[in-house]
Structure 1
Amino acid sequence: MRARHRRAVRLAALLLLAGAFQASPVEASGRQPAFAVVGAPADRRDVVTWGASADRIGDAVPDRGYRLIVHTGVGGTDLRVRLSNAFGDRPVTFDSVYAGIQQTGAALVHGSNRRLTFDGARSITIPAGAAALSDPLPGRLPAATNLVVSIHSQDAAGPATGHGMAMQTSYLSLGDHTAEEGAADWTQTTGSWAYLDSVSVRPHAGTAAVVALGDSITDGWQSTSDLNRRWPDYLARRLEKTHSAVRGVANEGISGNRVLADGGGQSALNRLERDVLSQPGVRTVFLFEGVNDIKSHSGVTARNLVAGYREIARRVHAAGKCVVGATVAPFKGWSEWDPAAEAVRQEVNAYIRSSGDFDAYTDFDHILRSPYDPERILPFFDGGDHLHPNDKGMQAMADAVDLTELDCAGRG
């Protein structure tokens, strides 16, 4: 990754209860209104440590409990969770929300499960289209923790908000069993996350986060489920071993997502505010999207995509954050590949490498392509469908990121 047009931007496993969480192309100018968050106000010291893009995931089920397993990045104190009703058509009330540490499956480490409150109350009603931020939970959460967030809603109805392709097993119950640490009442499994869209902590002063904005490759498709082998997971592990100020990582990938058009979730342009810019402590946005716009054969040209990238970069910079771009990876062999799509990909990649619209770029195309056929992904990295990398490919992507370029504060 090489710096381009750099801008200065200012910017274990045991949970101890009493004090420690050890215990047709569209126009590229559209913008969604500001995303409303109810409950306790955000704190400037908070930094996102886990995230998953909100989308509609079917119809809500009343009196259902969700035991959601998420793997955090940076550690810190004062855990907070954000619950989302972004795609609901009516208010939803969560009457019980707990956070603990996974022991195995749906079972929690003994003594780790603690109730979360919202503005001091045990329940929270979230309006349609909004989200709610919990009060800080005293204590420390170590880095790289399998956190368990258990939620229950008696009256949930209408469209449910969540993240469909979690690549992680979570658990369901009938009735409210959120306070229980055992697994006996959590007998059903799910491969989605419901309502939970981010987790934040207060790390050491000066710590910040990077948000990966992408599609199914970022979402982790073809990586091994339950092992946290998406490329942003590998990136988080690299960052944890360094002294970089950027330590938090939020994965805001959605399978099928496009830069310009809604379809696999709202477009990157339309969800930028909610999924990315509203997250706490973000210093850098890592943009890796475009292949779905290209391979859809919907009339999108390189010029259209460039306009979309430029609008995202403009809005990220206007928010006082750094933006890193990534080249579109090869996909020859995928059913929608053809020479016309490849020509658009090559033109888009040339722009990403040379335009200067980004503060830096990572050349995922160069890292993943075969030296014998540069239009194809290297077989060693191919997850089997010639588009999505396997675990080795995901790790190679994360290893290609120049960590110094993620921390753009103070650079000229």
Structure 2
Amino acid sequence: MTTRRPLRNALVAVALAVASVSAAPAAPAADAPRPDGDPRPGRRGAPHDVVTWAAGAERLGEGVAGRAYRLVVRVSVGGTDLRVRLTNAEGDRPVTFDSVRAGIRAEGAALVPGSNRRVTFGGAGTVTLPAGATVFSDPLPGRVPGGRDLAVSLHSPDAAGPVTGHGTALQTSYVTDGDRTAEESAAHWPTTVRSWSYLDAVTVRAPAPTGAVVTLGDSITDGHASTADRNRRWPDRLAARLRASSATTVEGVANEGISGNRVLTDGSAPSALHRLDRDALSLPGVRTVLLVEGVNDLKAAPGATADALLAGYRAVVARAHAAGVCVVGATVAPFKGWPEWDRAAEAVRQEVNAVVREGGVFDAVTDADRVLRSPHDPERLSPFLDGGDHLHPDDDGMRALADAVDLTALECAGGPPDDAGRRPPLSRPPSAPW
């Protein structure tokens, strides 16, 4: 009889400074102190912007004029000069924000006293985004520690039409009527939501060559079947590993998973090929894309062929390389037992995984299939890692997938960025798995 060896149920402990966003000078120490200061290779250097949180943009419901949002997000890498990116990418008309603030979340909708500060755009407290546009704020002086919950509060007097945001947040945020963005208490934020609206990225300034990885994926990367409000998506676990590691200068993690996403064709959101620039390559400090997609292409009707899916993977890699960014790819995890599974889709999955493992497609490979499959039926998720629907891993499965990522493989991009933050194109071909 096979017995289960339980996986740990908590994220690794990381020593975090308890600090608020303030105008005080940035502390020189890293967020997770190490015995010899900070031994990460090449850690010191001129600071630059690095994405510390992101979420894939998709179309939500209709906007409501006069509504305020308090959006709770977990930053990955700490740093100074925080900036937020607001989005109207899926909107069909302009939207104005007349108050945007950022502070450290204490609990619920309450903020750490004194941390809630106004965010400006070109020096103004009001910004209007045309349909399809995104905008970064001005830098907010002060330091934000890694691994903390940030609350971004925003108010729109004229919101209408489709809201751009992220539907499967797995994180409680708050809404209210009227502009309550300046309030740090939770008293006037009674209504909870499980989505993020109008916010799709947060960046900080960190010492060069600190970089970030974008996890580009579907509902598995989005965290479906992981415990809500506990940050147990596999990219969260990866971020905790990176903060605790001295093996890499990659610390930022941008979770760009969207439920139902496919590599080749659009659905409820643009395909990975169509959103690659917006959701990955446009984010500052990105060194590597970690692509965990393909199962939705296989279980579509009709499903993608192996040649088509592999061609899609290679197109992602070619465009990323042209931007000086590497791509780590994952094998497609098993999904037997899901209603859309059939023998034809399984045969394509096995063919795609065999080619990916051989090398020559990606710069490195994370073998999601190997770590998640059942030893007794490799076409199925392990029953000890299955979230219950035979497609999505549970908390332990999320941990197993994150722990399968070789952190040193994320240090694969080309030379340093130029003054505009662009990296030189990669000249080397993709290698075998690292």
The separation in 1 between residues aligned to 2:58 and 2:341, in whole angstroms, is 27
The separation in 2 between residues aligned to 1:137 and 1:77, in whole angstroms, is 8
In structure 2, list runs of 5 or more residues that go unmatched. Answer: 1-16, 28-45, 416-427, 429-434
Residue 409 (structure 1) shift: 3.9
Give 1:99's aligned amino acid.
A
Q: How does 1:64-103 map to 2 (within 5 A)?
A: 64-103=67-106
| Residue equivalent to 1:290 | 294
| Residue equivalent to 1:164 | 167
- Cα deviation code 1:316-342 (max 9, x no counterpart): 011111110000000011111111110
The separation in 1 between residues aligned to 2:414 and 2:271, in whole angstroms, is 31
| Residue equivalent to 2:390 | 386
- Cα deviation code 1:346-383 (max 9, x no counterpart): 11111211241211001000000011000000011000
Higher relative contact order (CA 8 A, sep 6+): 1
Identity of aligned residues (%): 66
The separation in 2 between residues aligned to 1:251 and 1:307, in whole angstroms, is 24
Could you tell me the TM-score, scaled by structure 2's length?
Answer: 0.86
Residue 48 (structure 1) shift: 0.2
- The one of 231, 235, 240 aligned to 2:243: 240
1:313–1:358 Cα contact (<8 Å) kept: yes
| Residue equivalent to 1:9 | none
- The one of 15, 18, 27 aligned to 1:13: 18
The separation in 1 between residues aligned to 2:294 and 2:26, in whole angstroms, is 39
- DSSP 3-state at the match of 1:396: helix
The separation in 2 between residues aligned to 1:46 and 1:264, in whole angstroms, is 31
Residue 81 (structure 1) shift: 0.3
| Residue equivalent to 1:194 | 197
- DSSP 3-state at the match of 2:48: coil
The separation in 2 between residues aligned to 1:405 and 1:322, in whole angstroms, is 9
- DSSP 3-state at the match of 1:252: strand
- Cα deviation code 1:274-320 (max 9, x no counterpart): 00110000000000100001011224211111111111111001111
2:21–2:104 Cα contact (<8 Å) kept: no
The answer on 1:204 being equivalent to 2:216 is: no
Give 1:351's aligned amino acid.
V
| Residue equivalent to 2:348 | 344
| Residue equivalent to 2:274 | 270
| Residue equivalent to 1:104 | 107
Could you tell me the TM-score, scaled by structure 1's length?
Answer: 0.90
The separation in 1 between residues aligned to 2:26 and 2:186, in whole angstroms, is 21
Residue 406 (structure 1) shift: 0.3
| Residue equivalent to 1:249 | 253
1:54–1:162 Cα contact (<8 Å) kept: yes
In structure 1, list runs of 5 or more residues that go unmatched. Answer: 1-11, 23-42
2:56–2:279 Cα contact (<8 Å) kept: yes
The separation in 1 between residues aligned to 2:191 and 2:25, in whole angstroms, is 30
The separation in 2 between residues aligned to 1:256 and 1:61, in whole angstroms, is 26
Give 1:406's aligned amino acid.
L
Give 1:376's aligned amino acid.
R
The separation in 2 between residues aligned to 1:408 and 1:345, in whole angstroms, is 27
| Residue equivalent to 1:302 | 306
CA-based RMSD of the aligned residues comes to: 1.5
